[in-house]
C-alpha cells in the first residue's frame, strides 16, 4: 500500500528554508539539494529488506544483519532531478542510475519527453524517481507511467517541494507509488509555479534563467 511521507526533521526544514531564499547562490543551492537528498535517502530506504550473515568480530562469532541485496535504481527527471542523485548515491552507493528527460511545455504545461536511458536490469530493481519539484504532477506522473510501460513495478517518488495539486494527481494516477516530500506548500500560481516554492529548480541548480 503506497504512503505519503512528509519530512519534519528540523535539519531538513532548516535547509529547505535556505533553499527557498532568492538570495541563496547557485553553489549553495546545489550543496543544499545534495545534503537534503542525502538526509531523505535514510528514510526512503527504511523498508529495504535485511538478511542474516555469520561474521567474526575480533572477539566472537555472531549472526549479523546485512542488506538482503535488493537492488535499487535511481531515476532523476532531467534536468533538476540530477541535483538529487549524488546525495542519494552517498547513502546507496551501489544503486544504478537511469535518466528520463522531460520538460514542461510553458504554454500547455504538459510534459514533453526528450530522453530516456535506463539500466538494462531495471525491472528487477526498486526504482526511486527523483525530482525536486512536484507542481501539477504532470511531469512526475508521466515519468512514472513511462517506467511502468517498460514493466517496472516497484516505484517510489522523492521530491523536495510539493503542491497539494501534484500530490493529489500522483495519488490518483499512481496509487501504488509512495511519495516522499520535504515540504508541502500552499498552492500553485497561474503559471503553475509552487507558492511559496523556490522558483525554477532547474534554473537555480544550474544558474540558467
From the list ligand PRP, ligand URA, none, partner contacted by residue 134 (C-beta under 5 to 8 A by kind): ligand PRP
SS3 per-residue string spanning the chain? CCCEEECCCHHHHHHHHHHHCCCCCHHHHHHHHHHHHHHHHHHHCCCCCEEEEEEECCCCEEEEEEECCCCEEEEEEECHHHHHHHHHHHHCCCCEECEEEEEECCCCCCEEEEEEECCCCHHHCEEEEECCEECCCHHHHHHHHHHHHCCCCCEEEEEEEECHHHHHHHHHHCCCCEEEEEEECCEECCCCCEECCCCCHHHHHHCCC
Closest approach, Cβ 105 to ligand PRP, in A, equals 8
Q: Work out whether 201 is an interface residue with ligand PRP (CB under 6 A).
A: yes
Closest approach, Cβ 41 to ligand PRP, in A, equals 19
Closest approach, Cβ 141 to ligand URA, in A, equals 13
Q: Give the residue nearest to ligand PRP (CB).
A: 202
Q: Is 183 left (phi over 0), alpha (psi -120 to 50) or beta?
A: beta
Q: Work out whether 76 is an interface residue with ligand PRP (CB under 6 A).
A: no
Q: Work out whether 183 is an interface residue with ligand PRP (CB under 6 A).
A: no
Binders in 78-97 for ligand PRP, by CB under 6 A: 79-80
Nearer residue to ligand URA within complex by CB, 43 or 203: 203
Nearer residue to ligand PRP within complex by CB, 70 or 165: 165
Closest approach, Cβ 111 to ligand PRP, in A, equals 6
Catalytic-role residue among 104, 125, 169, 204: 104
String marking each residue 119-158 x if it binds ligand PRP according to CB under 6 A: ------------xxxxxxxxxx------------------
> Is the C-alpha dihedral spanning 15, 18, 20, 26 positive or negative?
negative
Q: Which of 35, 43, 173, 200 touches ligand PRP by CB under 6 A?
A: 200
204 Cα distance to chain centroid: 17
Binding site for ligand PRP (CB under 6 A): 77, 79-80, 103-104, 111, 131-140, 166, 192, 200-202
Catalytic residues: 104, 108, 200, 203
Amino acid at each position: 500500500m503506497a504512503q505519503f511521507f512528509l519530512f519534519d526533521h528540523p535539519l531538513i526544514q532548516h535547509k529547505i528554508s535556505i533553499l527557498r531564499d532568492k538570495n541563496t547562490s547557485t553553489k549553495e543551492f546545489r550543496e543544499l539539494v545534495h545534503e537534503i537528498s542525502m538526509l531523505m535517502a535514510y528514510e526512503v530506504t527504511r523498508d529495504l529488506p535485511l538478511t542474516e550473515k555469520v561474521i567474526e568480530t575480533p572477539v566472537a562469532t555472531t549472526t549479523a544483519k546485512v542488506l538482503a541485496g535488493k537492488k535499487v535504481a535511481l531515476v532523476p527527471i532531467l534536468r533538476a532531478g540530477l541535483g538529487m542523485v549524488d546525495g542519494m548515491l552517498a547513502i546507496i552507493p551501489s544503486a544504478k542510475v537511469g535518466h528520463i528527460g522531460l520538460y514542461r511545455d510553458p504554454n500547455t504545461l504538459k510534459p514533453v519527453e526528450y530522453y530516456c536511458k535506463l539500466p538494462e536490469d531495471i525491472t528487477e530493481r526498486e526504482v526511486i524517481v527523483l525530482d525536486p519539484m512536484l507542481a501539477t504532477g504532470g511531469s512526475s506522473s508521466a515519468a512514472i507511467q513511462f517506467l511502468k510501460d517498460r514493466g517496472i513495478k516497484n516505484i517510489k517518488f522523492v521530491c523536495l517541494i510539493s503542491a497539494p495539486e501534484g500530490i493529489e494527481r500522483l495519488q490518483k494516477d499512481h496509487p501504488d507509488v509512495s511519495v516522499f516530500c520535504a515540504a508541502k506548500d500552499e498552492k500553485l500560481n497561474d503559471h503553475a509555479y509552487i507558492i511559496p516554492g523556490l522558483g525554477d529548480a532547474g534554473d537555480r541548480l544550474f544558474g540558467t534563467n
